[in-house]
Structure 1
């Protein structure tokens, strides 16, 4: 069963976290914007002693990033909580910092994101695998790229080659396949279902 109960946050659980721009507006306008969001996510997921930033980071290994995708007007994160620190702490640190950055850069005011972020407790392994496919397919279904490997702002490239903007704990997914090509095939086969919203769980759709 997959639920939206924020009170169920607990170590060892997986969560699909997502949100979009207030009024469906864009939240990323150019590569610098995507890169800044990723830098904030990275510094909180993988804090470093030599980080010169004065921003207080979360304790190391508080969360594991399984998959992610940043789209022009929304984002998706697949996270495993490892400690007694709720996912809201991570999301708040990343999105508050990014919101301030974007408002200052573009001389904007007000809330960047739409309401509170959405969170789904993912307790079924089959759903976990399907969810990773859905997250990775976003750019292709939106018509941003023809080949998912060419999209820079998701974890798909890291899954395929071990290279990318942000390291992920992709073994959680890939260890269930014979090889990377088998997973890639599943993502491709899932594309038409996702594109047409066929057999797509309702909680995957942005309200």
Structure 2
């Protein structure tokens, strides 16, 4: 069966995840984390992409980036191949280190951009590795709050969406039920099938007439019942994807 084509981003911005094969660890010590970031830096010099956020977890990696002169696949392969070669030589192993195909999702608006960035920064907290984001050494969060000497991340783009650092920290620390990329294993429907399911809950034409509280409650019910992607739900209902992401 042919692979599904990777969904292209309208903005050139993507949330990317690399996972260790069979869920195995891809970092065994501090030097490994540093080496991975070295390969990110080297790929940036060649591919000219910009990093807006990252988090290196023991068995997977999240990167929020904007595509540069090369396609996203070529840029990520530069990182993955370089690091895998280093890791295999260091630990005397052979074969694949990462799952064959990295996962990605497009980030097409500012609302979802900030949701993804927060999701990435909160990964270590949700995995019960640390209590505070700044206590985790291997994410971009400390670059944003000026507690890291690394200069991998372009923090200007995100910070322009906040009036000050205090508001940035407040947003990053907000408790949430963000579900980005790795949890988006949605059921696939044709648009007509999805429309039929939604119409059994509510007349789609009436959605925009509801007050915000009632509308959000109905949207949550639709998401829970259909398990469809936010993108398809937006296409079928005419309700913006940013709204679907937040309910």
Using the size of structure 2 for normalisation, the TM-score is 0.68
Aligned to 2:43: 44
Shift of 1:155: 0.4
Aligned to 1:125: 110
Larger RCO (CA within 8 A; separation ≥ 6): 1
* SS at 1:88 equivalent: helix
Aligned to 2:193: none
* SS at 1:66 equivalent: strand
Counterpart mapping for 1:1-207 below 5 A: 5-6=5-6, 8=8, 12-45=11-44, 47=45, 58-59=46-47, 62-83=48-69, 85-161=70-146, 163-190=148-175, 193=176, 198=177, 200-201=178-179, 203-205=181-183
Shift of 1:165: 2.9
- After superposing the two structures, state which structure 1 stretch, 166-175 or 73-82, moved more: 166-175
Aligned to 1:50: none
Aligned to 1:54: none
The runs of 4+ residues in structure 1 deviating greater than 4 Å are none
Aligned 8 A contact 2:50 2:153 in 1 = yes
Aligned 8 A contact 1:26 1:74 in 2 = yes
Structure with more of its chain in helix, by fraction:
2
Aligned 8 A contact 2:116 2:180 in 1 = no
RMSD of the TM alignment (CA)?
Answer: 2.0
* SS at 1:77 equivalent: strand
Larger radius of gyration: 2
How many residue pairs were aligned?
Answer: 182
Unaligned runs of 5+ in 1: 48-57
Shift of 1:202: 5.6
Unaligned runs of 5+ in 2: 186-247
* SS at 1:69 equivalent: strand
- After superposing the two structures, state which structure 1 stretch, 162-171 or 125-134, moved more: 162-171
How far apart are the structure 1 equivalents of 2:101 and 2:127? 24
